[in-house]
Amino acid sequence: MNAVSQLDQVKTGPWNGGRSPWSVEYGKIMMWFFLLSDAFTFSSLLIYYGAQRFSKLTWPAPDKVFQSIPGVMEHGAPLVFVGIMTFILIMSSVTMVLAVEAGHRRSKKEVIGWMIATIIGGFMFLGCQAIEWTHLHHDGFWWGHIPSAEELKHFFNKPEDVSLIASQQFANLFFTITGFHGFHVFSGVIINIIILIMTINGTFEKRGHYLMVEKVGLYWHFVDLVWVFVFTFFYLV
């Protein structure tokens, strides 16, 4: 054995990097650390939103802003549509864990089935979000745009509460934060599709394990996790 190949040798001692830290595979640890940094980004956005709400005397009432079920009723159904969206996302999280569980048993067929279900859930959520955005946009809210002071009275609890600055902050932050989250859902769906194709191709079968499914699973659950917070702070509080 020459000197060069000795350098190439993977060191195996625990203090030489030969052990995987915490017995977790490298890619999975990196996914966790990426998600931690992403959680910081989302926290910053949500904390800024919180600071804005704290600094304003009034704020658009969620029950009045979000009270339509597209195609069913225009008014008087607060939270129902977003409830459906939440259910879709939690459901797709469940199908994702089921895909991971099938991966542990190396059941290719079941992994394919559950991954397809997860991807469909992701597309359904994105569709709902598109409808939600369109609806709010038609009401007159957008980045840098709000309805007139007269129209805004419909979105506050009391007519004298109307605040143009609060409305504008609400619109900007709503579209930025749900947009950033929606972008994560979108990239999650794309990654899920890539993993689905790799599964169908038998890549993980040959590799002997379905760890990649677990890694995208972590990302997908994180997207669900962020939605739990967005849902609370935009729709409930």
Partner 1 sequence: MSEHSHTTEEHGHEEHAGLSKGKIWKVFGILLLITVIEFIIALVLIPKGIMTQHFGNYVYIVLTLLKAFYIVAYFMHLKYEKLGLQLALTVSFIFIIYFIVLMLTEGGFLNLHMMHH
Q: Which residues make up the interface to partner 1 (CB under 8 A)?
A: 1, 9-10, 12, 18-26, 28-29, 32, 36, 39-40, 43-44, 47-48, 50-57, 63, 78-79, 83, 86-87, 90-91, 93-94, 96-98, 100-101, 103-104, 208-209, 211, 214, 217-218, 221-222, 224-225, 228-229, 232, 236-237
Residue with tokens 């704290």: 54
CB 215 to partner 1: min, Å: 10
- CA-CA distance, 160 to 18, in Å (whole number)? 67
CB 173 to partner 1: min, Å: 13
CB-wise, 114 or 174, nearer to partner 1?
114
CB 138 to partner 1: min, Å: 24
CB-wise, 142 or 163, nearer to partner 1?
163
CB 223 within 8 A of CB 188: yes
Residue with tokens 């994105």: 126
- CA-CA distance, 70 to 225, in Å (whole number)? 25
Handedness of CA 11, 13, 15, 17 (dihedral sign): positive
Helix/strand number for the chain, H first, E second: 9, 0
CB-wise, 2 or 138, nearer to partner 1?
2
